Structures are given as structure tokens and as C-alpha cells.
Amino acid sequence: MQDEIDVSGLRKFVAPEFVFGGGSRNLAGRYARNLGLSRILVVSDPGVAAAGWLDETLSTAAAAGVEAVATTEVSPNPRAAEVMRGAALYAAERCDGIIAIGGGSVMDCAKGIGIVASNHRPIEDFEGVDAVGRPCPPLICIPTTAGTSADVSQFAIIRHPSEPVKMAIISKAVVPDLALIDPETTASMPPFLTACTGIDALVHAIEAFASVASGPLTDMHALAAIRLIRENLAGAVASPADAARREAVMMGSLQAGLAFSNASLGAVHAMAHSLGGLLDLPHGQCNALLLEHVLAYNFPAAEDRCRRIGEALGLDLRGLSGPRALSRIFGFIQDLKREVGISGTLASCGVKRSDIPDLADYALADACIVTNPRRPSRGDIETVYAEAL
Ligand SMILES: [Fe+2]
């Protein structure tokens, strides 16, 4: 009977409790105590620890009477082995909850640790959609970059233990219990990281809006995110001390996260995950290298959506033919990337033409490809990689 229900027109929306604003990070210990936690694993990385954010989190836990054990063993593009060691530490220390303070890699690794801590199997067993059986331990996320939105999303991205590819784990089980979204933490980001994570957020919004699983609620957040990031990202990169711009980019990232967590993504992310697995490049940079090329591929199948994306980017496309509208959007994205300091091509980042067949194979197997507005063939994906070369 259940199988006969037509779900194609239904849209669900999942979001964690979150607190947005300067200083919200200081609530971590109090919320941990309110969740009933007595001994938490705090997951971070060496850069975040050096910026002082880890010590500050440990202090809030101590002030709230919550014991804490810390690990900073997280690489950019986190490894399956790091997840497994984190889960072993969680078990050995008899923790009962997790706080993640860091960027997307830290939060994704913390989600992976939570999955393994509850389900007691290797992390690669949970790749794909809704493959996590038991709920994870309570998780509080404090993002220190404005872009990944792992703090509000149903996604965790982990490198496969034996193949050069990143696994997408998509499950309601990895939505944090609480996100403390504090724009002050982004003050420690170097400009290139601000640019890469900001473009990642922009791609989240664009792909969520173009997704075949989009709906009115995700559209609203996606369009608002595109506007906020377009208006503030270049300024935030050029003037790191401009707190108002950083806050606006953080809000854009949050709205993009609410959109993509529920509408999912598309070919830019599927292809970027494949690139990140092969080359270990920053995720946002991989997206940036592909964005306008995927948009050009999608345009014929989703012209109305692409035009609305262009308008949210501030472009006047009225009266323009399809090809001219596309050319205007394409050029704008290239200009924006240049303005924020992201240059180069796949080739200049080390991709060889001979890598393309393998990259295409992994991209086609990625969960994000399913919601792309145009269903690509292997040849289509190879062509887009070649255009971005
Ligand atoms: Fe992303």
C-alpha cells in the first residue's frame, strides 16, 4: 500500500535548531548541559585550534560543568580513517555527545564519528541516501567558515578509504541538534578561504534553485542567498575587518544551506566531489572551476530557472535571447571569481585529459547527480570536464 503513494509532488523541509549572531558560540557549554550531556568529544582541526576557537569552546564546556575530550585530527577533505579513530576515541572516553567547531571538514568528520559511534560499522557502509540506521549522538556544530553549511545540512562528505573519491552521506540522522552560527568566528579566515567557501555557498544556492527537488520554501532561501552573497562576498574578501559584510555572507551561507539540504544539489557538486577525491583540492575551488560550465550545460533544460538565477545575481536579462542571457550569466560568474581571487582552470590545478573518464565515472555515481535539472550521459559529463580544462 505504502509503495502506491505518489511522492513526486511532495516536499519535506528539515532544519536544526540554530542560533545566529555574534557571540552565539559562547552558548555551546550551556546547550551541551541542557541536552543532558556530561562528557563530550570536541572535534576541531589544528588551524581552528591555533585561532583560539577550540580553547574557547572547551572553556564554555568547563564553565557549564561538562567534561570534554578534544581531537584535532581532521584533514581538509576528511579521511575515513580519521572518522574511525575519532569514533574509537569517543567510545574509549565514554562520551555522550559531540561538539564540532570548525569548517566543513571538521563538521563532516564529526558527523561521521557520530554515525560510527551509534552504528558500529565502517563509515563507507553509510554512503548514499538514508543509509544511516540508528540515530547519532547529540551534535552541536559551530561553523568557523561561511559556506559549507554542514551545520544545518543533511550531508556529510568523507573521503572513501580505498578509492580516490569522496562519499556523500545524505541522511536526516546527520542534521545537527543545534547550530551556533557566529559570524565573529569567520574573522580568522584568510581571504582565499573566504572566497572559496563563499563561492561554495553560492553554488549551493544555485544548484538548490535549479534542482528537480526544489520547492517554494527552498526557492525562497536559495534566491535570498544568491542576492546576499552577490552583494557582499567580494567586499568580505577585500575587507576582512568588515564585520557587517562577513555577517551578510554568513547569513547567505545559512540560507543556501537550508535550501540545498532540502532540495539537494546537482552536477557541479557531483563533479566537484569527484575532483576533490582525485586531487584533494579545496571543495569550493573545485565548484568554482566548474560552475559556469555546468550552468551552460543545464541552461537549455532549465532556461527559466537559470534566468531567475541571473536576475538574483543582479543581471538585467529582459529582452535577451537564450544564448545572450546565458553568455551574460557566464561572464558574470567569471568576473565574480576573478574579483574574489579564484583563477585558473582544471588543467592549471593538475587535471589531465586522461583523468576525465575516471572523473566522469565517479561523478555519475555521486548522489548529487540525481537532482540535476538535465540528466547527463557519460559523454555529457566528459564534455563539461573538457570545457573546464
Ligand atoms: Fe558544497
**Domain spans of the chain?**
17-186, 189-388
What is the model's pLDDT at position 277? 84
Q: Return all residues near 328 (Cβ < 8 A) that are at least 6 apart.
A: 310, 315, 317, 320
Residues 6+ apart with CB under 8 A from 100: 42, 43, 44, 106, 107, 109, 110, 111, 139, 140, 141, 142, 151, 176
**Domain 17-186, classified CATH 3.40.50.1970, yes or no:** yes
Per-residue pLDDT at 187: 87
Distance 197 CA to ligand 1 centre (A): 8
C-alpha 116 – ligand 1 centre gap (Å): 23
Fold equal for 17-186 and 189-388: no
Cα of 268 vs centre of ligand 1, distance in Å, is 9
**How far is residue 380's CA from residue 281's CA, in Å, rounded to a whole number?**
23
245 CA distance to ligand 1 middle (Å): 21
The CA 33 to ligand 1 mean position distance, Å, reads 31
If you measure from the C-alpha of residue 269 to the centroid of ligand 1, how many angstroms do you get, rounded to a whole number? 6
Distance CA 337, CA 237 (A): 11
Q: Output the CA 198–ligand 1 centroid distance in Å.
A: 10
* Residue 343 grid cell: 583563477
> What is residue 3's predicted lDDT score, i.e. its pLDDT?
64
- Position 2 scores a pLDDT of 55
Cα(253)–Cα(202) distance, rounded to whole angstroms?
8
Q: How much distance in Å is there from the Cα of 321 to the middle of ligand 1? A: 31
Q: How far is the CA of 204 from the centre of ligand 1 (A)?
A: 6
Ligand 1: distance of its center to the CA of 277 in Å? 14
Q: What's the one-letter identity of residue 207? A: E
Cα(45) to centroid(ligand 1), Å: 19
Q: Where are the beta strands (DSSP E) in the chain?
A: 17-20, 39-43, 67-71, 97-102, 128-129, 139-143, 155-159, 166-170, 178-181
DSSP assignment, residue 79?
A: B
- The CATH label, of 1.20.1090.10, 3.40.1190.20, 3.90.180.10, 2.60.40.2470, for the domain at 189-388 is 1.20.1090.10
How far, in Å, is the centroid of ligand 1 from the Cα of 126? 19
**What are the phi and psi torsion angles at 207 (to 5°)?**
-70, -35
Task: Please give the distance, rounded to the nearest whole angstrom, from the Cα atom of residue 207 to the centre of ligand 1.
Answer: 10
Question: Consecutive sets of 10 residues in the chain, 389 residues long: mean pLDDT of each?
Answer: 77 94 97 97 96 96 98 94 98 98 96 98 95 96 93 93 89 96 91 94 98 97 98 95 95 97 96 88 91 97 98 97 98 96 92 95 93 97 97
* pTM for this prediction: 0.93
Q: How far is CA 350 from its chain centroid?
A: 23
